[in-house]
Structure 1
Amino acid sequence: MPDLPQHRPVLAGARYSGMTGSGILLEALPEGHLLHVLGAIEPTALAAELAKVGLASSTIRKVGFRQWFVAGDEPLALTGLDALAAALAGKAFVTDQSHGRVRIGISGRSSRVLLSKGTAVDLDPAVFAEGSSAMTMVGHISVQIARTGDDSFELTVLRSFAESLWDELSHMAASAERG
C-alpha cells in the first residue's frame, strides 16, 4: 500500500535577511491556520466568537464585502473548526483555507520600498494603517497584503504561487539593497 502524502511546508523555513543596513527581512511564517469567513457579521462580533472557541490570538483581515481571513500561527484541529462553525451558525460561514494558502512576513525599515516595487497599493501609514489589508497583485501574483506593524507586513498567497512570490520578493529585496 503506498504511503499517504505527507504535509511539507512550501517554503520550509525560508528566510531572507538583507545585507547590514538594508533593513529588509523576508520570512516564511508558520503554516498555522487560515480561515475564510463569509457573512453578515462585523469584525468585533467575529473577534468575540473567535475568543469563545480559543482563537483570540488570531488576526482578522478584510478580504472583500462581508469576507474576512482569520489567520494564526497554530494549526487548528477539526474540532476547533467545528466549534467555530457552530458559533457562527446563522451569522456567517467558515471554510478552512490553511492547506491552500501560505503567509510570508516582510519587515524592516525598507519594507515599504520593497513592496512598492511590486504593487500599486499606497502603503503610506497615513493611508494604509496597521491592521489594514488589501487584495492586490505583486507582479503577476494575486496576494493579500496586511500591515502588521509600522514597518512590517504579511502577504497571503495561494500555496501554488508561494515559491514564485518568494523568488520575486527576494529579487526585489536584492535590487532594493543596491539602491
Structure 2
Amino acid sequence: MPDLPQHKPVLAGTRYTGISEAGIRLEALPEGHLLHVLGAIEPSALAAELAKVGFATSSIRKAGFRQWFVAGDEPLVPAGLETLAAALTGKAYVMDQSHGRVRIGVSGHSSRVLLSKGTAVDLDPSVFPEGHSVMSMVGHLSVQIVRTGDDSFELTVLRSFAESLWEDLAHMAASAEKDGA
C-alpha cells in the first residue's frame, strides 16, 4: 500500500525562512487553524463560544457582512471543530479553511511602507487600528490584512497563491530598501 501524502507547509524550506531588511520582517506563520464563520452572531458572542470549546487564544477577524475568520497557531482537532459547530447551531455556520489558506506576518517600522506598495488600503493607525481587518487586493491577489500590533500585520491568502504573495512581498521589501525606507 502506498504511503499517504504528508502535510507539508506551503512556505516550508530555506527559501521562506523569513526576510529581515530595511526595517521589514516577513515570516511564514504556523499553519494552525483558520475557520470561516458565517451567521448573525456578534463577535463578543462568538468569542464566548470559542472560549467554551477551547479556542480562547484564537483571534476573530471580520471577513465581510456577518462573516469572520477565526485564526490561531494551534492545529485544528476534528473534535474541536465538531464541538464548535454544535455550539453555534442556530447562530452561525463554521467551515474549516485551515488547509486552504496561509498566513504571512509582516512587521517592522517600514511595514506600512511595504504594504502601501501593493494595496490602496489606508493603514495609518488612526484609520486602521490594531485588531482591524479588511479584505483587499495586494497586487493581483485577494488578501485579508489584519493589524496585529503597532508595526505588525498578518496577511491571509489562498494556499495556492501563498508563494506568489511571498515573492511579491520580498520584491517590495527589496524595493523599499532601495528607496531608503
Q: TM-score, normalised by structure 1?
A: 0.97
Structure 2 equivalent of residue 173 of structure 1: 173
1:6 Cα deviation from its structure 2 partner: 1.1
Note if contact 1:143-1:155 (Cα within 8 Å) is conserved in structure 2.
yes
Tell me the distance in 1 between the aligned counterparts of 2:20 and 2:33: 28
1:3 Cα deviation from its structure 2 partner: 2.0
1:163 matches 2:178? no
1:90 matches 2:85? no
Runs of 4+ in 1 over 3 A off after TM superposition: none
Note if contact 1:24-1:110 (Cα within 8 Å) is conserved in structure 2.
yes
SS class of match (1:167): helix
Tell me the distance in 2 between the aligned counterparts of 1:112 and 1:81: 35
2:59 counterpart letter in structure 1: T
Q: What's the CA shift string for 1:79-113, capped at 9, x where partnerless?
A: 00000001100000000000000000000000000
1:17 Cα deviation from its structure 2 partner: 2.9
Structure 2 equivalent of residue 70 of structure 1: 70
Aligned residues, how many?
177
- RMSD of aligned alpha carbons: 0.9
1:39 counterpart letter in structure 2: G
1:18 Cα deviation from its structure 2 partner: 2.8
- Mind listing any 5+ residue stretches in structure 1 that lack a counterpart? none
Structure 1 equivalent of residue 44 of structure 2: 44
1:114 Cα deviation from its structure 2 partner: 0.1
Note if contact 2:135-2:144 (Cα within 8 Å) is conserved in structure 1.
yes
Structure 1 equivalent of residue 10 of structure 2: 10
Structure 1 equivalent of residue 143 of structure 2: 143
Question: Identity of paired residues, percent?
Answer: 80
Structure 1 equivalent of residue 131 of structure 2: 131
Note if contact 1:25-1:108 (Cα within 8 Å) is conserved in structure 2.
yes
Tell me the distance in 1 between the aligned counterparts of 2:72 and 2:19: 23
- Mind listing any 5+ residue stretches in structure 2 that lack a counterpart? none
